Structure formats: structure tokens, C-alpha cells
Amino acid sequence: MTKEYKTISQISGPLIFVEKTEPVGYNELVNINLPDGTTKRGQVLDTSDDIVVVQVFEGTGGLNRDCGVRFTGETIKLPVSKDLLGRILSGAGEPLDGGPRIVPEDRLEITGAAINPYARLPPKDFIQTGISTIDGMNTLVRGQKLPIFSGSGLPHNEIALQIARQARVRGSNEPFAVVFAAMGITNEEAQYFMADFERTGALERAVVFLNLADDPAVERLITPRLALTAAEYLAYEHDMHVLVILTDITNYCEALRQMGAAREEVPGRRGYPGYMYTDLASLYERAGVVKGRKGSVTQFSILSMPGDDITHPIPDLSGYITEGQIVISRELHRKGIYPPVNVLPSLSRLMNSGIGATRTREDHKAVSDQCYAAYAEGKDLRGLVAIVGKDALSDRDKKFLEFADMFEDRFVRQGVDENRDIETTLSIGWELLAELPEAQLTRIDNKYIQKYHPAHKAKEKEGK
């Protein structure tokens, strides 16, 4: 039995300071026994011969200097087993669904270890999400981390759910699972996710971790790590392809800032701690494919940009770690377009390795580049039209202006349950591009124009 210390010298925010202990390990798990018989858990943040700093996950409410502190001698671990599938757990990993405790096959450290870059396999399996703006323009591949940059009041949850429902690697029937971690979202939002999981039967293949808005903020710091540990276990031990949805990263970062402030650290930009990049990387980088193992971890996190500001430290640092981002646009949402994905600032860095002749179709990159360029030009012209009026535009410019409108209306817009395969997406792209003069299609190789351009296709048919 480990010793119980009654030497708390100070309680400050989520931190307690314990004096005169025997040597305590860094990051060690701590149990705190309250006078009323309940127990709280914490983790060692700073340890020395004189004083040990502990962050308390369930908050320090009700603690006083009479509490007993036990150091467990081990770091935080998650009991894992295949039975995790179908379970709903709290943000600290305790069952919430009234089910039994997990009988562990193994107990894994939740901090996880970095994958040796030499052991990684470059991700390249195309995941078809059925959403044109993602499949066609910002292709997701297995093992990628691609967050949704959204804002308050935008339909990011619908999009995330649509992806969770529709995402498939074509022509494969490999086992897959969804790990869903809620960090500080409201009960209502959580209900919405749960209802959809139940409706579609996805819950059997899902592990859910819920840290809701009224749960302690500090707990949010471990919730995503529990989720990723579960995901890695299912992927690397049970050969599953795991899609991890973390929502909302912004709440996680707020919790990080809160902890930093409580520890009286030197703050970085906008008060967020200087190590936020490293901390976020320790979450995001836990996606990937490992050589010689069948499973994979793909991350699709949701991040709401405070004030829709993409230069805010949270989206900014995330963008530097993740392999691209899907940006949700308030402007498109106001126009009534779903999914309101603004393709221009969106990006998938791994797109090029996931598309092409053997993976999607040979003309994919050309079509996507051309749509990007034409849409960007059309959008610029909107600004000009606002000043000089449409009549001042040349005929060429008018075509591009129309292209931008059609692109939003036909390519971007689709139904919540509409699952477009990649061929459909590309042919919509071609139909729109066909409205532009052919000489303007400078990004498309002539041989693809001959093969896929609707005008040539029609001619070919006539010829036959």
C-alpha cells in the first residue's frame, strides 16, 4: 500500500502543492481522498525533493488541507480491450453507459510514444467521403490528420457526421471503427452526435469519450489522449482502420491555457502557453500508418476558430501540424449552401499521393487545379463587379464570374445524405469547366481534355 500524505501546503485553481514526500515520479497518477470519502484523481506536473505540484482532473472543489494524497507510482494508463467498441465513457475513461468496467487485455500509457518516422508508411489510400469539396478538391487519405476549421453557429457537426457515415476506402471491406472524443461540448451537441450514431448503427463500431461543457476543464487535457490511445490500440493491435473525431480542439486549448495560468507560467501569444505547439503535436501526430501493421489512425478534428480568425493561435498552430484543413465559410452558410466548405483556404497536403490514375482517376489533379484557379478568379471578379458593374467586364471575365456562381451552386452544394462517388464529383467538375472557353483550361493536359471534356465526349459519341 502506498503512503498517504496529509501535507498539502497550498491549493490554487486546479493545482495542489504537496510537501515532504518521498521521491515522486514526473507525470505520475495521484489519488486524492476527500474528507467526505470521495476520491479525485490528478497528475504530477512538477516534482522535487521539497514540493510536488499536482493538477487535479476533477477540479479542486471541496478539497482542503486535510485531504489525503496517494501517489500511485505509475503514470496514467487506459485499460484497453476490444470490448471498448460500443461503449460510452467519461472524459476520464469511466463507463457512463451503465455497463460493466472494461476487462482489460492491456493497460496502455495515454501519452503514447512518437511513431519512428522510419517506421511510418506514407499515407496514400484514398478515402471517399462522398462530399465533392473534400473528395474532389481536398482529398482525405488514410492516416491523415485533417481538421475542420469552423466557427460558432456553423454546421461543422453535420459535416463531421456525414463524413463519419459515408467515409469508405473504395473496394475494401476492412474492419473500421470510429473513436469519438468530446471535449467541453454541450450536452445538446453530444446528444446530437449520439442520436446519429444510434440511428445509423455506428455506435457498435464506436468508442465514445464524453467530457461535456460542465465537466472539469482539466479533464479535457486527458480526454483526447484516452481516445487516441484507444484508437491506436484498435488500429495497431486489432488491424482496424480508425477514424478519430476530436471536438472541439478550441476547448482543449482553453483548458491548456487555464492550466498554464494556474501554474503561473510565462504566457505566449494571447496567453496560450509557449508549448502549445508541442502539446497539440502530441495529439495530432498520433495519426498515421505503420509499416507492417494493417490498421491506421485517421484524424478528423473539429476546431472552432474564435471570431472566425484563422490567424488565431489555435487554428494557426494546428495548421502548421495537420496535413491541411477544411475551412467552413460563414458566407456560404448564409447563402444557404450546405456543406459550406470554402475550398480556397482549404487544403489537403496528402492529396497528391492519394489521387491519380490508379487511385481515383488520371485527370483528378488537373480538374481540381483548374477548378481552384477558375473559382479563385471568379471570386476576385465579384469584388470588381461590386465597383464597376458587370457590364465593364470582358466576355472572358463574365464566364469566370458565372463559373464561380455555378461552382458554389452545383459542386459545393449537396444534400446531407447525398453520397457522391468520385466519378460523379469529377464529372460535375467537367460540366462546369466546359462552360469556360477551352483555351482557358491551361492547367489541363490536352489528352485529358480530349478524353473527358463533355464537348469532345459528345463528338466522340457522334463519331461512333
Partner 1 sequence: MKNKGEIYRISGPVVIITGLNTKMYDVVKVGNEGLMGEVIGIEGDKSTVQVYEETSGVRPGEPVENTGMSLSVELGPGLLESIYDGIQRPLPVLKEKMGDFIKRGVSANGLSREKEWDFVPTVKKGDKINGGDIIGTVRETLNIEHRILVPPTISGTISEIKKGKFKVDQVICTLEDGKELTMMQKWPVRKPRPVSKKMTPGTPLITGQRILDGLFPVAKGGTAAIPGPFGSGKTVTQQQLAKWSDTEIVVYIGCGERGNEMADVLYEFPEIKDPKTGRPLMERTVLIANTSNMPVAAREASVYTGITIAEYYRDMGYDVSLMADSTSRWAEAMREISSRLEEMPGEEGYPAYLAARLSEFYERAGKVKALSGKEGSITVIGAVSPPGGDFSEPITQNTLRIVKVFWALDAKLAQRRHFPSINWLNSYSLYTKALGPWYDEHVSPDWVKLRNDAMELLQKESELQEIVQLVGSDALPEDQQLTLEVARMIREYFLQQNAYHEVDTFCPMDKQFKLLKSIMSWGDKAHNALDGGAPIEDIMKLKSKDDLAKVKYEKEFDKALGVILKTMEDEFAKLRGK
**Interacting residues with partner 1 between 198 and 257 (CB under 8 A):** 236
Q: What is the spatial distance between Cα 81 and Cα 13, in angstroms, rounded to a whole number?
A: 35
Residue 242 pairs in a beta bridge with: 177, 297
Q: Which stretch binds partner 1 (CB under 8 A): 105-113, 157-165, 172-180, 407-415?
A: 105-113
- Which of 36, 439, 461, 462 contacts partner 1 by CB under 8 A? 439
Is 281 one of the binding residues for partner 1 (CB under 8 A)?
A: yes
* Number of residues in contact with partner 1 under rule CB under 8 A: 89
134, 144, 217, 396, 432 from 325: Cα distances, Å: 10, 11, 26, 32, 25
- Unique residue bearing C-alpha cell 465579384: 382
Is 183 one of the binding residues for partner 1 (CB under 8 A)?
A: no
What is the residue type of 110?
A: I
- Which of 1, 37, 103, 113 contacts partner 1 by CB under 8 A? 113
Is 116 one of the binding residues for partner 1 (CB under 8 A)?
A: yes
Is 386 one of the binding residues for partner 1 (CB under 8 A)?
A: no
- Unique residue bearing C-alpha cell 476549421: 149
Stretch (H or E) spanning 447 = helix 446-452
- Which of 64, 172, 187, 278 contacts partner 1 by CB under 8 A? 278
Q: Of the two residues 184 and 319, which places its CB atom closer to partner 1 in the complex?
A: 319
Is 11 one of the binding residues for partner 1 (CB under 8 A)?
A: no
Is 377 one of the binding residues for partner 1 (CB under 8 A)?
A: yes
Q: Which residues contact 380 (CB under 8 A, 6 or more apart)?
A: none
Is 445 one of the binding residues for partner 1 (CB under 8 A)?
A: yes
Is 136 one of the binding residues for partner 1 (CB under 8 A)?
A: no
Is 274 one of the binding residues for partner 1 (CB under 8 A)?
A: yes
Residues 248 and 202 sit within 8 Å (Cβ to Cβ)? no
- Which of 111, 258, 424, 427 contacts partner 1 by CB under 8 A? 111
Q: How far is the CB of 86 from partner 1 (least distance, A)?
A: 27
Is 27 one of the binding residues for partner 1 (CB under 8 A)?
A: yes
Q: What is the spatial distance between Cα 158 and Cα 300, in angstroms, rounded to a whole number?
A: 13
Is 437 one of the binding residues for partner 1 (CB under 8 A)?
A: no
Residues 87 and 207 sit within 8 Å (Cβ to Cβ)? yes
Q: Of the two residues 26 and 38, which places its CB atom closer to partner 1 in the complex?
A: 26
Q: Burial letters for 32-69: b for 16+ Cβ neighbours within 10 Å, e otherwise?
A: bbeeeeeebbbbbbebeeeebbbbbbbebeebeeebbb
Is 376 one of the binding residues for partner 1 (CB under 8 A)?
A: yes
Is 142 one of the binding residues for partner 1 (CB under 8 A)?
A: no
**Restricting to residues 337-356, which ones interact with partner 1 according to CB under 8 A?**
344-345, 347, 349-350, 352-353
Residues 54 and 44 sit within 8 Å (Cβ to Cβ)? yes
Q: Of the two residues 86 and 112, which places its CB atom closer to partner 1 in the complex?
A: 112
Quick count: other Cβ atoms within 10 Å of Cβ 459? 12
Q: How far is the CB of 145 from partner 1 (least distance, A)?
A: 8
Q: How far is the CB of 351 from partner 1 (least distance, A)?
A: 11
Residues 242 and 235 sit within 8 Å (Cβ to Cβ)? yes
Q: What is the contact mask toward partner 1 in residues 303 to 322, using x (rule: CB under 8 A)?
A: -------xxxx--xx-xxx-
Question: Does residue 100 have a cis peptide bond before it, meaning omega lies within 30 degrees of 0?
Answer: no
Q: How far is the CB of 445 from partner 1 (least distance, A)?
A: 8
Residues 322 and 284 sit within 8 Å (Cβ to Cβ)? yes
Residue of 135, 149, 121 lying closest to 287 (CA atoms):
121
- Which of 106, 265, 405, 421 contacts partner 1 by CB under 8 A? 265
Q: Which stretch binds partner 1 (CB under 8 A): 80-88, 286-294, 408-416, 422-430?
A: 286-294
C-alpha cell of residue 324: 491541411
Is 261 one of the binding residues for partner 1 (CB under 8 A)?
A: no
